[in-house]
Chain A
Amino acid sequence: MNYFQLFNLPAQFDLDLTELGSRYLQLQRRFHPDQHSAGSERDRLLAVQQTANINDAYHSLKQPLLRAEHLLALRGLKISHEQRSFNDPQFLMQQMELREQLADIAQSDDADAVIDSIERQLQQQKKQLLQQLATALDAGSAEQDQLAADLIRKLKFFFKLQQELELTEQQLQD
């Protein structure tokens, strides 16, 4: 299913999120099961399925990584459930360093300062990679698509780290 088509939006990485949100609500108003509570059983079931599709599509387009994955999938490059390791020693080294910093937070004298520092590094890296991703996806060539796939794989590491950082922060607060 082409999520961009569902929202009648151009299939590109750079997306107007406000417009996406308002179209989402427009579709919801039309198809939500509550609008069909007087319908026949089959029609009510169809409404549930259709709304589930709309929710799924919205969820995927709203988040940059999922949006990029969907865009690549539409171009025939499926990476959403792949299991593969990739070979970029420099990148893996950087990940390990960040992980070590993360593990040391609890022992640190000034945990907040360490958290802020990691947070800044993550944000900066993510921003940079997302910009590269946007450029690669806009190019639309097979070669650039492969590059985009690699960038997505890298970004996943950073999003994961971000989650772990938030979890650590929560544990410190509690």
Chain B
Amino acid sequence: MLLQIAEPGQSAAPHQHKLAAGIDLGTTNSLVAAVRSGEAKTLVNAQGRDMLPSVVRYTHDKVIVGDAAMAAAVDDADNTIVSVKRLMGKGYSETLALKDKVPYQLIDQQGLVAINTAQGIKNPVEVSAEILATLANTASETLGGELNGVVITVPAYFDDAQRQATKDAAKLAGLNVLRLLNEPTAAALAYGLDSGQEGIIAVYDLGGGTFDISILRLRRGVFEVLATGGDSALGGDDFDHAIVSYLQQQSGEVQLSHQQMRQYLTTARSIKEQLTDSDTVSFSLPTAGGVHSGTLNKADFEQLIGALVKKTIRACRQVLRDAGLTGEDIVKVVMVGGSTRVPLVRSEVAAFFATQPLTSIDPDKVVAIGAAIQANVLVGNKADGDTLLLDVIPLSLGLETMGGLTEKIIPRNTVIPVARAQEFTTFKDGQTAMALHVVQGERELVDDCRSLARFELRGIPPMPAGGAHIRVTFQVDADGLLSVTAQEKSSGVQANIQVKPSYGLSDDQVATMLKSSMQYARQDMQLRLLREQQVEAERVLEAVSQALKADAALLSAQEHTDINQALAELARVKQGDDTAAIKAAIEHTNHLTDDFAARRMDQSVRSALTGHNVDEV
């Protein structure tokens, strides 16, 4: 159980090497990396490329991912989904601003945003799952076997809905997610292990569609995020759009077709990239009347994007304030994301922090490399007690109260995992249900925050008004994902909670998507569920056996016998193919060992600090 796994050198069997990969699921490009022979490296696909354009094309009978999809982005713009990350966890109404900027058709799918393609309606989770599956496939082929687990990176600034959508996509792609890791933390991990850097660092991450700024303290293997901020809808794509507006002005084409828009965007991106090393770039674009040729110089480009870059610097100032620091406290600045190649970005960041930013690891690869390092640790290949990643929640979690106001439950930059309880009481006689609205954001008014979910508590025992005290616990795990539990205090009755995510898929919807997805025929699906239960059964057997070996003294003879019987039964059904029976045996074992686990936890907490307690009490 818990204690044993933590202790190095006590595992039962010599571990076989497990296959794990780190995935950077980016707006523009995605990468997969793994630790091989002790070194974390990005993996190349059959075409010899490690950068996979995050582009998915749906023809009537095929799904094409990556470079081949990108090649059709102009000719088949409607069915070629680019920058899908910007749509993750979003409601349709929230993406209206993007509607004229993306060259494909956004539609309203019960409040959520989705895309109309030649293969029917696809939601962002499904599109992202295709990208993830492609990357996982590259990793399996390179590493020579199925992956045991993956670490997927997300912008630190991603809210709960965006994180949940990412996790759902992984589930749909058939991947076991060891952890959602914040991109800046991954980057720091890649650099930290390289250079043994100590002190306070800033990670400036400007990707295709998102901007993150994080402040971390590094000391003896501990990566402690002090504060994080940014803008989940600001990135290199916006630079491209700024250039497109300029190009439209120049060419006089006011209204662009989807195909033209793709053409303009491709030209814009190419101009942006060329301006990294040149001072002037010439371009030509088709117009209604023929062809328009022109040039854009560096100074004008910098004028176009100046306000956007300033916006990122303002976020840097804010996050330093949150951390209670000034620019002088920062010893190093790590640059992440392709957009940090833009010279204006580098010079503004250097000026703000008064230090030359670090770029020695390729800014496109550094996140995937960090993710691979952590994946290797989490899958159990490295008994690494040295690295500890302490992350924070990027946006405050709150509840709607009277008059449409929010009450903060967990303020932003609180270290995760975190659990906070809040007590509520009934206001009517015999009231048995209660509704809660959870929002995320910093503003006072509910309408200005992001709605996360509505929870309905049912099964509250009927009592006079004010008689029932319901304790609602909000828990955020290490992935930054929220879960809510509720209990009536006087009766101890566990209230039943129904979650309606505001901008996400319910568990049922994810299950339905899984079942209907082409990748998993019905039989595959059942096999997969069986395999999952078998893996969990193995884990339970291993954990409980270890616990018995170490702490049988905490059990009565009767308890010990009962547990042994349950283990024998679990081991027996595990061999079979009855998924439900395995699940039941696991639950039975867990139920029998709950007290044991709690006792061991207490003991473990008491013993964790021994060696300190001699002279102090």
* A residues whose Cβ falls under 8 Å from a Cβ of B: 6-10, 23, 25-43, 46-53, 55-56, 58-59, 170
Q: Which residues of A contact B536 (CB under 8 A)?
A: 40-41
Q: Which 8 A-B pairs have the closest CB atoms?
A: A52-B419, A40-B539, A37-B378, A8-B609, A40-B540, A33-B478, A52-B417, A38-B380
B617 at the interface (CB under 8 A from A): yes
* Alpha-carbon distance between A77 and B420 when the two chains are bound, in angstroms: 21
11 A-B residue pairs with Cβ-Cβ distance under 8 Å, sorted by A, are A8-B612, A33-B477, A34-B378, A37-B149, A37-B179, A39-B2, A40-B542, A48-B417, A49-B475, A55-B417, A58-B415
**In whole Å, how far is B315's beta carbon from the nearest beta carbon of chain A?**
12
* Alpha-carbon distance between A26 and B613 when the two chains are bound, in angstroms: 14
Interface readout for B475-499 with A: 1 if CB under 8 Å, 0 if not?
1011000000000000000000000
Q: Which residues of B contact A27 (CB under 8 A)?
A: 605, 608-609
Closest to B386 in A: A29
Closest to B375 in A: A37
A25 contacts B388, CB within 8 Å?
yes
* Alpha-carbon distance between A47 and B84 when the two chains are bound, in angstroms: 34
Q: Which residues of A contact B616 (CB under 8 A)?
A: 8-10
Known: A25-B388, A33-B417, A55-B414. 6 other contacts (CB 8 A): A40-B1, A46-B597, A49-B417, A55-B415, A56-B418, A56-B420
* Alpha-carbon distance between A35 and B387 when the two chains are bound, in angstroms: 10
Closest to B149 in A: A37
B247 at the interface (CB under 8 A from A): no
Closest to B591 in A: A42
A52 contacts B475, CB within 8 Å?
yes
B511 at the interface (CB under 8 A from A): no
A28 contacts B390, CB within 8 Å?
yes
Q: Which residues of B contact A170 (CB under 8 A)?
A: 321
Q: Which residues of A contact B548 (CB under 8 A)?
A: none
B385 contacts A35, CB within 8 Å?
yes
Q: Which residues of B contact A9 (CB under 8 A)?
A: 616
Q: Which residues of A contact B385 (CB under 8 A)?
A: 29, 35
User: Which one of B388, B417, B542, B604 has the greatest number of beta carbons of chain A within 10 Å?
Assistant: B417
Q: Which residues of A contact B539 (CB under 8 A)?
A: 38-41
* Alpha-carbon distance between A25 and B389 when the two chains are bound, in angstroms: 11
**In whole Å, how far is B511's beta carbon from the nearest beta carbon of chain A?**
18
Q: A10-B617, A30-B6 are in contact. Are A42 and B388 (CB under 8 A)?
A: no
Q: Which of A35, A38, A41, A59 contacts B415 (CB 8 A)?
A: A59
Within 8 A of A (CB), among B363-382: 374, 377-380
**In whole Å, how far is B126's beta carbon from the nearest beta carbon of chain A?**
27
* Alpha-carbon distance between A27 and B608 when the two chains are bound, in angstroms: 7
Q: Which residues of A contact B608 (CB under 8 A)?
A: 26-27, 30-31
Q: Which residues of B contact A28 (CB under 8 A)?
A: 388, 390
Q: Which residues of B contact A41 (CB under 8 A)?
A: 536, 539
A43 contacts B5, CB within 8 Å?
yes
B380 contacts A23, CB within 8 Å?
no
Closest to B607 in A: A30
Q: Which residues of B contact A51 (CB under 8 A)?
A: 417, 478
Closest to B538 in A: A40
User: Which one of B179, B414, B478 has the greatest number of beta carbons of chain A within 10 Å?
Assistant: B478
* Alpha-carbon distance between A8 and B613 when the two chains are bound, in angstroms: 6
* Alpha-carbon distance between A7 and B321 when the two chains are bound, in angstroms: 29
**In whole Å, how far is A35's beta carbon from the nearest beta carbon of chain B?**
5
B505 at the interface (CB under 8 A from A): no
Q: Which residues of B contact A52 (CB under 8 A)?
A: 417-419, 475
B215 at the interface (CB under 8 A from A): no
* Alpha-carbon distance between A6 and B606 when the two chains are bound, in angstroms: 7
* Alpha-carbon distance between A8 and B477 when the two chains are bound, in angstroms: 25
* Alpha-carbon distance between A47 and B475 when the two chains are bound, in angstroms: 12
Q: Which residues of A contact B178 (CB under 8 A)?
A: 37
Interface readout for B527-540 with A: 1 if CB under 8 Å, 0 if not?
00000000010011
User: Which one of B1, B178, B179 has the greatest number of beta carbons of chain A within 10 Å?
Assistant: B1
Q: Which residues of B contact A6 (CB under 8 A)?
A: 605
B222 at the interface (CB under 8 A from A): yes
Q: A25-B388, A40-B540 are in contact. Are A55 and B609 (CB under 8 A)?
A: no
B388 contacts A47, CB within 8 Å?
no
Q: Which of B419, B420, B477, B543 contacts A43 (CB 8 A)?
A: B543
Q: A25-B222, A39-B543 are in contact. Are A49 and B419 (CB under 8 A)?
A: yes
A29 contacts B388, CB within 8 Å?
yes
* Alpha-carbon distance between A28 and B220 when the two chains are bound, in angstroms: 14
Q: Which residues of A contact B1 (CB under 8 A)?
A: 39-40, 43
Q: A34-B478, A35-B6, A40-B536 are in contact. Are A56 and B419 (CB under 8 A)?
A: yes
Within 8 A of A (CB), among B577-617: 590, 594, 597, 601, 604-605, 608-609, 612-613, 616-617
Q: Which residues of B contact A38 (CB under 8 A)?
A: 5, 378-380, 539
* Alpha-carbon distance between A96 and B590 when the two chains are bound, in angstroms: 58
A48 contacts B2, CB within 8 Å?
no
B379 contacts A42, CB within 8 Å?
no
B388 contacts A32, CB within 8 Å?
yes
* Alpha-carbon distance between A35 and B179 when the two chains are bound, in angstroms: 12
Q: Which of A29, A34, A49 contacts B377 (CB 8 A)?
A: A34
**In whole Å, how far is A59's beta carbon from the nearest beta carbon of chain B?**
7
**In whole Å, how far is B18's beta carbon from the nearest beta carbon of chain A?**
9
**In whole Å, how far is B218's beta carbon from the nearest beta carbon of chain A?**
13
Closest to A52 in B: B419
A43 contacts B2, CB within 8 Å?
yes
Interface readout for B320-364 with A: 1 if CB under 8 Å, 0 if not?
010000000000000000000000000000000000000000000
Q: Which residues of A contact B617 (CB under 8 A)?
A: 8, 10
Closest to B178 in A: A37
* Alpha-carbon distance between A30 and B388 when the two chains are bound, in angstroms: 10
* Alpha-carbon distance between A36 and B178 when the two chains are bound, in angstroms: 10
Within 8 A of A (CB), among B388-411: 388-390
Q: Which residues of B contact A8 (CB under 8 A)?
A: 609, 612-613, 616-617
**In whole Å, how far is B412's beta carbon from the nearest beta carbon of chain A?**
14
Closest to A32 in B: B388
B379 contacts A50, CB within 8 Å?
no
Q: Which residues of A contact B590 (CB under 8 A)?
A: 40, 42
Q: Which residues of B contact A32 (CB under 8 A)?
A: 388, 390, 478
A48 contacts B5, CB within 8 Å?
no
Q: Which residues of B contact A49 (CB under 8 A)?
A: 417, 419, 475
